Amino acid sequence: MLRIQLIPAKEIVKVTEDGKADFGKMKELLDEISALTDASQNFVIMVDARQITPGLSTVDLWYLARELHEHGTTFNRRSALLVRPDAINSAQLFALFAQNRGFLVNAFSSFEEAVDWLLPSSEASAAPPLQSP
């Protein structure tokens, strides 16, 4: 049985007063996600970051994607990043950087689309191509 691990990023990441996350805090999010998941379980991850205002640079997104390998098998399964519509370009860029490293990460602004992609009955066996940001 497949479980979806829904992680509300706002509850884990301590953001600035205006809701913006920085690179260090996003690295902490990856650590927290890894700590919350059990490698022996069959699960996929959805990070709900809709309450976080985009604020990472392209270089930060690249380094953040590079950090995924530091967390063992946590990100070796499908992971969906759910963001606000105004943050989708940055999220898709992060997903593209992660995909280039072999991770099944994708970004969505629709909860339903994210769940459809995460479920095993989804037609895609790998991350679908992203549109250019």
Which residue, 39, 37, 10, 3, is CA-closest to 26? 10
63 falls within a domain: yes
- Does 118 score more than 70 pLDDT? yes
pLDDT at position 131 over 60: no
DSSP string for residues in 80-119: EEE--GGGHHHHHHHHHHHHHTT--EEEES-HHHHHHHHS
* Percent of the chain predicted with pLDDT > 90: 25
> In terms of residues, how long is the chain?
133
- Has residue 124 been placed in a domain? no
Instruction: Name the domain count of the chain.
Output: 1
Whole-number pLDDT of residue 85: 94
> Does 130 score more than 70 pLDDT?
no
CATH number at residue 66: 3.30.750
Residue found by looking up tokens 């884990």 in the block: 12
Whether residue 131 lies inside any domain: the answer is: no
Question: Does residue 132 form part of some domain?
Answer: no
- For residue 123, is it within any domain? no
Supply the range of the domain harboring residue 109: 3-118
For the segment 95-124, the average pLDDT, to the nearest whole number, is: 86
- Tell me how far apart the alpha carbons of residues 82 and 110 are, in angstroms, rounded to a whole number: 7
In a domain, 125, yes or no: no
- Binned at pLDDT 50, 70 and 90, residue 123 comes out as very low
The string of pLDDT tens digits covering residues 32-83 is: 777 776 655 667 888 888 887 777 788 888 888 888 877 767 777 788 999 9
Over range 105-119, report the average pLDDT.
92
